[in-house]
Amino acid sequence: MEDKRRRARVQGAWAGSVKSQVVAQPATSAKSLLHQRPGHSWTNKEHHLSDKQFVFKEPQQVVRRAPEPRVIDKEGVYEISLSPTGISRVCLYPGFVDLKEADRVLEQLFRDIPWKQRTGIRGDVTYQQPRLTAWYGELPYTYSRITMEPNPHWHPVLRTLKNQIEQNTGHTFNSLLCNLYRNEKDSVDWHSDDEPSLGRHPIIASLSFGATRTFEMRKKPPPHRVPREYHSRDLRINLTFRTVCPDPHGAQR
């Protein structure tokens, strides 16, 4: 009984007598631990810490600082970035189409355009694009490994809109990519619109009808997108008029 009272619990296991605790040596490796005799256990030993200390230091120079986001919601011309290839500008024209006329155009394009959900490719993975698209133009158009076949049969409403845009901007366009966002779950990921067929300095006229959506832009990488949203959004159609060149190397200079 006296011997049992002298037993002490060490690190979750019952140790031997006080005498055996004093002379017991801690295992120094997995191999020695396997050969440890019953009744012997680790004793409290002082751990020797390394003299090296890790000290965090703030970098003296910031390599890249993200610009503060800003909202563009008023009519005007905005310079959004400067690069070796030139200045990128956004020209915003709110209410380009009368509100009642815009509602009529939305309904007609939703009904008449041959919308299609296409299969995208990212790396070795295929996926269904989270929106519907359609293409108009004499030439094919390839982006993100998706080729839109030529479709010279312009809808009369689209041709009228193209003429209005050309008169107001002074730029001509021969092609149109239509995007249909069915609800807040539809989106388009970051992309550049820098395919060789668009020329060295592409100009795109983007005209939207329907629900208001956020349109994000930022300097490469990556430049702009229409993100998925987490509150209810109604139907939205976006028309992006562009100029596709038959010879990418002879495109706009």
pLDDT at 9: 43
Q: Three-class SS of residue 250?
A: helix
User: What does the DSSP 8-state code read for residue 197?
Assistant: G
pLDDT at 84: 74
Measured distance CA(155)–CA(134) in Å, rounded: 11
End-to-end CA distance of the chain: 101
Measured distance CA(196)–CA(244) in Å, rounded: 9
Residue 246 tokens read as: 């038959």
User: Domain 9-15+98-210 carries which CATH code?
Assistant: 2.60.120.590
Best CA proximity match to 179, nearest among 120, 104, 236, 101? 236
Measured distance CA(210)–CA(238) in Å, rounded: 9
The answer, as to whether pTM is greater than 0.75, is no
| H, E, C per residue of 70-123 | CCCCCCEEEEEEEECCEEEEEEECCCCCCHHHHHHHHHHHHHHCCCECCEEEEC
pLDDT at 250: 45
pLDDT at 15: 40
Looking at the chain, the number of H-run helices and the number of E-run strands are 5, 15
pLDDT at 156: 97
Positions of the chain with pLDDT lower than 50, given as ranges = 4-43, 45-46, 250-253
